[in-house]
């Protein structure tokens, strides 16, 4: 990025100089690198995975095999592990097809493992097993109620609107100033920022967010294409699911709380892990007069994913952590996992929210 981008923000860049240099040193020491996130990554998580790979490629080069990879200034062997493969929504991005599920070759381990947009609590069991075997472990994230695990290097900034915004800011540090902002890198970063800001409307969106976005467009990011793919495109089956959830919405707490349920029976044979639930919960999160929205997603075996959204002044990350010690995320967008029959799970969630809604 042009150095003028950071003018007027010396404190922000200064805070990241040390972490940026530490990340560069960790990558320099490694010959094999794992980059991963959650099983079905959203735009910010997947964009961050691709972006970090671009960092490594620009600074060190990508080796064609483990045997070719070298520590120090030589090329690196980089594995993008995505438990369910490349998410179809982001397959248009350059380098997206490099993402793959864990395979036998990964049992050899990696010198460095980096989790982006969440920690070990959010990555699935197959990826977590590979990550835990890494000789050095790092996490890059922007969630306020994020991972509680220990890492050799943790770069976390809850003030950033997206993990990709945090990565874009790292490009302003001395350690990464040699990385050219190519179109593939710009598009990966823009995809993540657009996704996690809800197209620049969520509360963490700042003037810095817009300045970065402008620079990414100047570098060739195709805003219209990315906007359609990330924010607007919806599969027919997801549209049908959305309509089913909307028709079954419950209005509670004097209209302050909306609750939707997505059961296995509604999925028409699809695996629950393959459903992009954000296409369902986000449209109902802004119904007039409501202050909070809950989507209960059945995963099988009385196992429920709870997705929470809220208006300002209601911290649903606290609610998620109250319901599940492993839950959390953002103040206005959080989630957790609960077990039990639907009626019991529903009562627990409604009770926790009703106390905060004063109803």
For 338-356, the DSSP string reads: EES-HHHHHHHHHHHHHHH
Claim to verify: residue 254 and residue 209 sit in the same structural domain: no
Residues 191, 271 within the same domain? no
Single residue among 231, 259, 276 that ends a domain in this structure: 231
Q: Is 137 exposed, middle or buried (0-12, 13-18, 19+ CB in 10 A)?
A: buried
In this prediction the pTM is 0.90
Q: SS3 string of 141-165?
A: ECCCCCCCCCCCEEEECCCCCCHHH
Quote helix, strand, coil % in the chain, to nearest 5. 45, 15, 40
Domain match, 181 and 221 both: yes
**C-alpha to C-alpha distance for 315 and 318, rounded to whole angstroms:** 6
Are residue 88 and residue 120 in the same domain, yes or no? yes
Summarised one tens digit per residue, pLDDT across range 269-321 is 888 887 878 888 888 888 888 999 999 999 998 999 999 999 888 999 899 99
Q: Are residues 131 and 262 in the same domain?
A: no
Give the C-alpha separation, 88 to 75, whole Å: 29
Same domain, yes or no: 11 and 144 = yes
163-170 helix and 43-59 helix, angle to the nearest 10 degrees: 20
Say if residue 300 is in the same domain as residue 250. yes
Task: Indicate if 198 and 241 belong to the same structural domain.
Answer: no
For residue 99, the model assigns a pLDDT of 97
What token pair was written down for 282?
Answer: 């986000």
Give the pLDDT confidence score for residue 325 in this predicted structure. 87
* Structural domain span for residue 79: 3-231
Of the candidates 264, 265, 217, 266, which has an alpha carbon nearest to the alpha carbon of residue 239? 266
User: What is the pLDDT, as a whole number, of residue 8?
Assistant: 56
For the chain, how many structural domains are there in total?
2
Together in a domain, 171 and 311: no
Please say which residue of 231, 256, 286 terminates a domain.
231
Give the pLDDT of residue 51: 98
Domain limit, last residue, from 231, 250, 276 = 231
pLDDT of residue 67: 95
172 and 142 in one domain?
A: yes
Where residue 221 sits, what CATH number does that domain have?
A: 3.90.1640.10
Query: What residues in the chain have per-residue pLDDT under 70?
Result: 1-10, 359
Distance of CA 341 to the CA centre of its chain: 29
Together in a domain, 48 and 160: yes
Q: What is the CATH number of the domain that holds 284?
A: 3.10.310.30
Q: Please compute Rg for the chain using Cα positions.
A: 20
Q: What span, in angstroms and rounded, lies between the C-alpha atoms of 216 and 189?
A: 8
- Only one residue has tokens 């799970």, namely 345
Q: Do residue 141 and residue 267 come from a single domain?
A: no
């Amino acid at each position: 990025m042009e150095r003028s981008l950071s003018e007027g923000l010396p404190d922000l860049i200064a805070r990241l100089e040390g972490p940026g240099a530490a990340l560069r040193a960790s990558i320099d020491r490694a010959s094999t690198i794992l980059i991963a996130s959650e099983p079905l990554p959203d735009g910010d998580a997947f964009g961050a995975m691709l972006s970090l790979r671009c960092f490594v490629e620009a600074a060190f080069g990508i080796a064609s095999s483990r045997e070719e990879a070298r520590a120090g200034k030589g090329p690196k062997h980089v594995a993008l592990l995505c438990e369910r493969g490349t998410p179809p929504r982001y397959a248009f991005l350059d380098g997206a097809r490099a993402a793959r599920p864990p395979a036998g070759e990964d049992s050899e381990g990696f010198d460095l493992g980096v989790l982006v947009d969440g920690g070990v609590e959010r990555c699935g069991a197959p990826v977590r097993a590979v990550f835990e075997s890494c000789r050095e472990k790092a996490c890059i994230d922007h969630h306020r109620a994020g991972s509680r695990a220990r890492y050799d290097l943790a770069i976390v900034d809850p003030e950033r609107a997206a993990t990709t915004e945090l990565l874009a800011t790292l490009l302003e540090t001395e350690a990464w100033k040699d990385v050219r902002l190519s179109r593939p890198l710009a598009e990966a970063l823009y995809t993540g920022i657009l996704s996690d800001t809800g197209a620049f409307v969520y509360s963490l969106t700042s003037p810095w967010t817009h300045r970065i976005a402008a620079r990414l467009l100047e570098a060739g990011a195709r805003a219209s294409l990315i906007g359609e793919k990330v924010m607007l495109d919806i599969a027919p089956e997801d549209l049908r699911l959305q309509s089913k959830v909307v028709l079954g919405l419950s209005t509670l707490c004097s209209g302050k709380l909306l609750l939707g349920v997505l059961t296995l029976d509604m999925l028409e044979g699809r695996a629950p892990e393959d459903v992009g639930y954000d296409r369902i919960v986000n449209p109902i999160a802004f119904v007039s007069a409501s202050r909070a929205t809950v989507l209960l997603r059945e995963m099988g075996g009385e196992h429920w994913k709870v997705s929470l959204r809220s208006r300002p002044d209601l911290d649903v990350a606290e609610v998620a952590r109250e319901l599940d010690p492993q839950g959390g995320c953002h103040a206005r967008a959080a989630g957790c996992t609960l077990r039990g029959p639907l009626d019991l799970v529903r009562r627990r969630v409604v009770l926790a929210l009703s106390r905060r809604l004063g109803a």
